[in-house]
């Protein structure tokens, strides 16, 4: 079977919902022993239950990715770390002058330090095995200016830079590192944002946001997860140090 992950331990952060959940489900279907890394116990257990219902292998690691000691302790649990997907992240709306320090620090702690903590805890395990794959979630905001996304763009630019650095530093040790850059994806975050900020106008605003993508709609989490599956599979063994836009034409066609 193409893109088989049979016999591999795959850790997915933020796997309790959205892209992380879709990735965990896809990995399990491909035969991986999935380790669900999330702070949300309800979401993590729901993902694990869906995997087990289909006969897959799922384990839950309840950990806050901003806590380095906790991450290192949790990541010592699997027998190996063959694949690491850093999907955990938070968003923020605001320009430079409307971004308070508290929000900037919160975005940095999760989106930047959380990825750093996760990769650092996994890299020594991969070095010992002389193999491994890391896939980070960047964003179109890593490459182009997005209005009212100052702190978020900062964090995703850092994810892109860290990805390239790790790919360069560990290529001789059999470790690959890539990232992907999605545009808007229809996740629970989007629904929650619309319900909170546009009560009664959710449908209208959803269509408006979808229309900002040249392809005319948002991506589904499963579509993002399919690209992640490929990049983490042995079939992508010649790919490292790359960022893949999956954006419905946003970067190149949104003129």
Superfamily of domain 9-183+222-249: NAD(P)-binding Rossmann-like Domain (3.40.50.720)
CA distance 228 to 220: 13
**pLDDT means over runs of 10, the chain (255 residues):** 96 97 98 98 98 98 98 98 97 95 98 98 98 98 94 98 98 98 92 88 92 93 98 98 97 83
| 91-105 CB burial, b ≥16 within 10 A, e <16 | bbebeeeebeeebbe
Report helix, strand and coil shares of the chain as percent, to nearest 5. Answer: 50, 15, 30
CA angle, corner 50, sides to 47 and 55, nearest 5? 125
Q: What is the structure's pLDDT at 255?
A: 61
Residue 123's CB: how many other CB atoms inside 10 A? Answer: 21
For 243, phi then psi, to 5°, come to: -115, 125
Which segments of the chain belong to CATH 3.40.50.720?
A: 9-183+222-249
Q: SS3 for 165? A: helix
The per-residue pLDDT for 212 is: 87
Q: Which residues are catalytic?
A: 152
Q: What is the pTM of this model?
A: 0.95
Q: Show Cβ contacts of residue 211 under 8 Å, excluding neighbours closer than 6 positions.
A: none
Query: What is the residue whose two structure tokens read 């140090």?
Result: 241
Closest CA to 175 of 93, 78, 240: 240
């Amino acid at each position: 079977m193409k893109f088989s992950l049979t016999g591999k331990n795959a850790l997915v952060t933020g796997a309790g919902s959205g892209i992380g959940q879709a990735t965990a489900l896809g990995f399990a279907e491909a035969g991986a022993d999935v380790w669900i890394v999330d702070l949300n116990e309800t979401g993590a257990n729901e993902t694990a239950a869906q995997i087990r219902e289909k006969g897959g292998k799922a384990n839950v690691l309840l950990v806050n990715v901003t806590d380095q000691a906790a991450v290192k302790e949790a990541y010592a649990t699997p027998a190996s770390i063959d694949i690491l997907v850093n999907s955990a992240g938070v968003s923020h709306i605001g320009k430079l002058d409307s971004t308070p320090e508290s929000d900037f620090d919160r975005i940095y702690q999760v989106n930047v330090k959380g990825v750093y903590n996760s990769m650092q805890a996994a890299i020594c395990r991969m070095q010992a095995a002389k193999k491994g794959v890391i896939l980070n979630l960047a964003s179109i905001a890593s490459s182009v200016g997005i209005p009212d996304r100052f702190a978020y763009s900062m964090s995703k630019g850092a994810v892109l830079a860290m990805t390239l650095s790790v790919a360069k530093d560990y290529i001789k040790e059999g470790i690959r590192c890539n990232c992907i850059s999605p545009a808007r994806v229809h996740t629970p975050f989007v629904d929650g944002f619309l319900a909170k900020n546009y009560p009664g106008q959710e449908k209208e605003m959803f269509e408006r946001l979808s229309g900002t993508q040249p392809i005319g709609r948002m991506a589904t989490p499963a579509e993002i997860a399919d690209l992640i599956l490929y990049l983490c599979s042995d079939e992508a063994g010649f790919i490292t140090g790359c960022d893949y836009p999956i954006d419905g034409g946003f970067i190149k066609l949104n003129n």
